[in-house]
A = this chain, B = another copy of it.
Amino acid sequence: VVAWPDVDPSSLGLGSGDVVIPGGHYQLSSSKWRRSSVVRVGGVEVGGGDLVVAAGPCAVEGEDQLRAAAAAVKAAGAKLLRGGAFKPRTSPYSFQGLGERGLELLRKVGGELGLPVVSEVTDPRQVEAAYKYVDAFQVGARNAQNFELLRALGETDKPVILKRGFGETVEEWLSAADYVLLGGNENVILCERGIRTFDHTLRFTLDVGAVAAVKRLSHLPVCVDPSHPAGRREYVEPLALAGVAAGADMLLVEVHPDPGRALSDSEQQLTPSMFLDFMRKVTAVFRASRST
**Chain A residues within CB distance 8 Å of chain B:** 19, 21, 25-27, 88-93, 122-125, 142-143, 145-148, 165-172, 175, 178-179, 182, 194-202, 204-213, 215-217, 229-230, 234-235, 238-239, 241-247, 281, 284-285, 287-289, 291
Q: Which residue of chain B lies nearest to A165 when distances are taken between CB atoms in the complex?
A: B167
- Cα A217 to Cα B235 in complex, Å, equals 12
- Given the complex, which residues of B lie within 8 Å of A182, measured CB to CB? 92
- Cα A243 to Cα B242 in complex, Å, equals 6
> Does the CB pair B209–A202 fall under 8 Å?
yes
A162 CB to closest chain B CB (Å) equals 13
What are 11 contact pairs spanning A and B, CB under 8 A?
A91-B178, A92-B182, A167-B198, A195-B198, A198-B198, A201-B213, A209-B229, A212-B238, A238-B247, A241-B246, A284-B291
Name 20 extra pairs, CB < 8 A, besides A125-B148, A170-B201: A91-B175, A92-B182, A123-B148, A142-B145, A143-B145, A166-B167, A167-B196, A167-B198, A197-B207, A198-B198, A199-B207, A205-B205, A209-B229, A212-B238, A215-B238, A238-B246, A241-B289, A242-B246, A245-B245, A287-B288
- Given the complex, which residues of B lie within 8 Å of A166, measured CB to CB? 167
- Given the complex, which residues of B lie within 8 Å of A171, measured CB to CB? 201
Quick one: given A122-B147, A125-B125, A198-B195, are A239 and B209 in contact (CB under 8 Å)?
Answer: yes
> Does the CB pair A178–B92 fall under 8 Å?
yes
Q: Which residue of chain B lies nearest to A291 when distances are taken between CB atoms in the complex?
A: B284
- Given the complex, which residues of B lie within 8 Å of A125, measured CB to CB? 124-125, 148
CB-CB nearest 10 A-B residue pairs: A167-B167, A288-B288, A196-B198, A142-B145, A241-B245, A212-B238, A123-B148, A245-B245, A25-B91, A242-B242
- Given the complex, which residues of B lie within 8 Å of A146, measured CB to CB? 122, 142-143, 146
A229 CB to closest chain B CB (Å) equals 6
- Cα A39 to Cα B77 in complex, Å, equals 39
> Does the CB pair A168–B169 fall under 8 Å?
no
Q: Which residue of chain B lies nearest to A203 when distances are taken between CB atoms in the complex?
A: B209
> Does the CB pair B122–A123 fall under 8 Å?
no
- Cα A285 to Cα B92 in complex, Å, equals 37
> Does the CB pair A209–B206 fall under 8 Å?
yes
- Given the complex, which residues of B lie within 8 Å of A245, measured CB to CB? 238, 241-242, 244-245, 285, 289
